[in-house]
Structure 1
Amino acid sequence: MIHEVIPVGPLQCNCSILGDETSREAIVVDPGDDIPRIMALLAKHHLTVKQIVITHAHIDHIAGAHRLKQLTGAPILYNQNDLPLVKMMDVQAGWLGMPTPTVHAPDDTLDDGKLITITGLTGSILHTPGHTEGSVCLYLPDQTLLLAGDTLFAGSVGRTDLPGGNTNKLLSSIHDRLLTLPDEVTVIPGHGPRTTIGAERDSNPFLQ
């Protein structure tokens, strides 16, 4: 598997490009900004985007999705429970002092258990509400890889003081859906360095 992680935008959101070396099909997760850089990496690996997956509808994760869809024709997928956040995109833009991006309703919703598939690569959606109502993670068991969005970080957890946040839901999501995964699963958080499920189970102070 081809896997590029690039921090994009003013909040350095981790955007993942997942590609299959044989089919050259790709999934882009959380293209929050810096679409020219994302397109350059896709071109470098000769990849064709088949799906754009958004872990949650905060502006730093979703702002570039519409532009990427315009350039690639790929559908945008996120959980419909985050539509209230999309409707307040102008408010979110005000938080960061940036122009309001174009964000539409998803082409398909990411419900729990939904399979995300391209030729040669399959992952499943874990609905993990708490950071937002519609927060999801993408789990690729064959690659022992979890793209955790802003649900779980290295040594920390997602904030719950923004609209849609709920601390009890967040901790339940992490304990019930993520810490049940194997220790060796690599976690790519929405921001910051990668970690593993085992490391967070053992030492994350928010989960003890």
Structure 2
Amino acid sequence: MIHEILTVGPLQCNCSILGDENSREAIVVDPGDDIPRIIAVLATHGLTVKKIIITHAHIDHIAGAHRLKQLTGAPILYNQHDLPLVKMMDIQASWLGIPSPTVSAPDDTLEDGKLIAVTGLTGSILHTPGHTEGSVCLHIPTQSLLLAGDTLFAGSVGRTDLPGGNTRKLLSSIHERLLTLPDDTTVIPGHGSRTTIGTERDSNPFLQD
């Protein structure tokens, strides 16, 4: 599998490009900004985007999705519970002091258990509410890989003080949906450095009894 991680936008969101070496079909996760860079990386690998996955509808993760769809024709998928956040995109933009982006409605929703597949590459959606109501993670078991959005970080967890946040739900999502994965599962959070499920189970101070 081809996996490129680009830090995009003013908040340095981790955007993942996942591609199959044989079919050259790709999934782009959280294209929050810097679409020309994303397009350049896709071109370098000869990849064709088939799906655009948004882990949650905060501006730093979703702002570039509409433009990427325009350029590639790929559908945008995110959980419908985050539609209220899309409706307040102008308010989100004001938090960062940037222009409000055009944000498309999802072409399909990301429900728990939904399979995300391109030729040669398959993952599944884990609905992990807490950071937002519609937060999801993408799990690719054959690669021991979890794209965790802003649910789980190296040594931390997602903030819950923004609209749609709920600390109880967040911790339940992590304990019940993520910490049940194998210890050697690599976690790519929405920001910052990678980690593993085992490391976070053992040492994340927010997850200890």
TM-score by length of 1: 1.00
5 Å-filtered alignment, 1:5-44, equals: 5-44=5-44
Identical columns (%): 86
Kindly tell me the number of residue pairs found equivalent between the two proteins.
208
Query: Hey, what's the Cα distance between the residues in 1 that align with 2:21 and 2:104?
Result: 31
Structure 2 distance, partners of 1:24, 1:99, is 34
How far residue 149 of structure 1 moved from its aligned partner, in angstroms, is 0.0
Instruction: Tell me the distance in 1 between the aligned counterparts of 2:124 and 2:153.
Output: 20
What is the aligned partner in structure 2 of residue 191 from structure 1?
Answer: 191
User: Partners of 2:104 and 2:34 in 1: how far apart?
Assistant: 19
Return the letter of the residue paired with 1:96. L
| SS at structure 2 position matched to 1:51 | strand
Matched, 1:203 2:174: no
Deviation at 1:104, TM superposition (A): 1.8
Instruction: Mark the runs of 5 or more structure 1 residues left unpaired by the alignment.
Output: none
Q: Find runs of 4+ consecutive structure 1 residues off by over 6 angstroms.
A: none
CA distance in 2, matches of 1:198, 1:4: 23
Match of 1:57 in 2: 57
1:112 and 2:112 correspond: yes
Matched, 1:79 2:79: yes
- 2:101 and 2:123 mapped to 1: Cα distance? 28
Structure 2 CA distance, aligned partners of 1:81 and 1:68? 22
Deviations 1:29-61 (A, max 9, x none): 000000000000000000000000000000000
Which residue type is aligned with residue 104 of structure 1? Answer: S
2:125 is matched with: 125
Distance in structure 1 (CA, Å) of the matches to 2:9 and 2:179: 29
Q: Distance in 2 between matches of 1:4 and 1:202?
A: 28
Shift in Å, 1:115: 0.2
Deviation at 1:96, TM superposition (A): 0.2
CA distance in 2, matches of 1:74, 1:100: 22
Return the alpha-carbon distance in structure 2 between the equivalents of residues 11 and 104 of structure 1: 21
Give 1:105 shift: 1.2
Deviations 1:122-151 (A, max 9, x none): 000000000000000000000000000000
Counterpart for residue 169 of structure 2: 169
AA paired with 2:199?
A
Gaps in structure 2 of 5+ consecutive residues: none
**1:130-169, aligned counterparts within 5 Å?**
130-169=130-169
Partner of 2:97: 97
1:47 corresponds in structure 2 to 47
* Per-residue deviation, 1:154: 0.1
Which amino acid is 1:12 matched to?
Q
The aligned residue for residue 70 of structure 1 is: 70
1: CA distance between counterparts of 2:82 and 2:105? 9
**Structure 2 CA distance for aligned equivalents of residues 48 and 157 of structure 1:** 33
